[in-house]
Amino acid sequence: MDKFLGRYSGYIYAIFRIVFGFLFMLHGTQKLFGWPPAKQAGGELAGIILAAAIIELVCGLLIMVGFFSGFAAFLASGTMAVAYFMAHQPQGALPIMNGGETAVLYCFAFLYFAANGSGMLSVDGMMKGSRAASSDG
Domains: count for the chain = 1
Angle made by CA atoms 84, 89, 90, in degrees to the nearest 5: 130
Within 10 A of 124 (CB to CB), how many other CB atoms are there? 18
Q: Structural domain of residue 106, as residue ranges?
A: 2-136
Distance (Å, whole) CA 10 – CA 47: 38
**pLDDT of residue 132 exceeding 60:** no
Mean per-residue pLDDT of the chain: 91
R_g over Cα of the chain = 17
Dump pLDDT digits (tens) for 17-43. 999 999 999 999 999 999 999 887 666
pTM, entire model: 0.89
pLDDT, one tens digit per residue, over 68-111 is 999 999 999 999 999 999 999 999 999 999 999 999 999 999 99
Neighbours of 3 (CB within 10 A): 6
